[in-house]
Amino acid sequence: MLQSSPLQKALAAGQTVLGPFCKMSDPTVYELAGLAGFDFAIIDMEHGPLGFETAQQLVRTCEMAGISPVIRIPANRGEYVQRALDIGAHAVQVPEINTAADAQCLVDAAKFHPEGRRGVCRFVRAAQYTRLDKQEYFGLANRQQQVIAHIEGRTGFDNLDAILAVDGISVIFIGPYDLSQSLGIPGQTDHPRLQETMADIVRRSRAAGKAVGTFVETPQQAAHWMAQGVGYISYSVDVGLLLQAFTSVVGSVRGKK
């Protein structure tokens, strides 16, 4: 339900925010993320099995846990953008933004007039099911609901300046795995060529006044990118973190290193 967004406030203040990707459907996972001190959780509808009905319940859970719900939708399609925001996501995270036209389509779907052409319906959770005054709702949605664009391919990198010129994008998110594949070095996230490309995206995005995000898997990676001005840090994935914890326990008990 549209309310004051911790994510929006932190990004506006230039603060660093931290949260995991989540593929699991159990609300307990999102409660635990809040209890652990994360700032947001990304409800992953691109690489996870989650649908919109489940996502809406997880958005509620995030808000109750005091963290911002972000929904990564499966593709840059207007109906996906609109549904994610209508159910109350504080941000929509969108894969494969490769051109200025892609970026403009995303903004058009995410923003109401005069900033975009988002479909208008007040009978949705984000509008408190019409409890919010209509004009208040349209303005709040445009100001508070964040738009996160993935740059994760060579084409997106080549068109970065044009993408940055599109108004309405809140965060440029660098997807290291897909970007590594597009550079011909799939999965080599520590490869110098990938690191240089990512650093270039960070520099140019920050120079354009955009917040920048990326995915990391270790505290060392997080510290590296935070030192370069990356403020939206996605730290690993719920299933991977759980497996890591389980494996550590089994190894400790059985005396394995």
Burial grade of 22 (CB within 10 A; 0-12, 13-18, 19 or more): buried
Q: What is the pLDDT of residue 2?
A: 64
Asked if residue 213 has pLDDT above 70, the reply is yes
Which residues are the active-site residues? 47
DSSP letter (8 states) at residue 119: P
Tokens standing for residue 61: 């859970």
17 closest CA partner among 166, 146, 142, 175 = 146
- What integer is the mean pLDDT of 20-47? 98
> Which tens digit of pLDDT belongs to each residue from 43-93?
999 998 999 999 999 999 999 999 999 999 999 999 999 999 999 999 999
CATH among 3.20.20.70, 3.40.50.300, 3.40.50.620, 3.20.20.60 for 6-253: 3.20.20.60
Q: At what angle do helices 78-86 and 52-65 cross, to 10 degrees?
A: 40
The answer on pLDDT for 1 being more than 80 is no
CA distance 69 to 84: 10
pLDDT per residue as tens digits for the range 84-132: 999 999 999 999 999 999 999 999 999 999 999 999 999 999 999 999 9
HEC states along 226-249? HHCCCCEEEEEEHHHHHHHHHHHH
CA pair distance 11, 161, nearest whole angstrom? 21
Domain chopping of the chain, boundaries: 6-253
Place of tokens 């060579």: 154
Q: What percent of the chain has pLDDT over 90?
A: 92
Helices (H), the chain: 6-12, 27-36, 52-65, 78-86, 100-110, 134-144, 154-158, 160-164, 176-182, 192-207, 219-227, 238-253
Whole-structure pTM value: 0.95
pLDDT of residue 197: 97
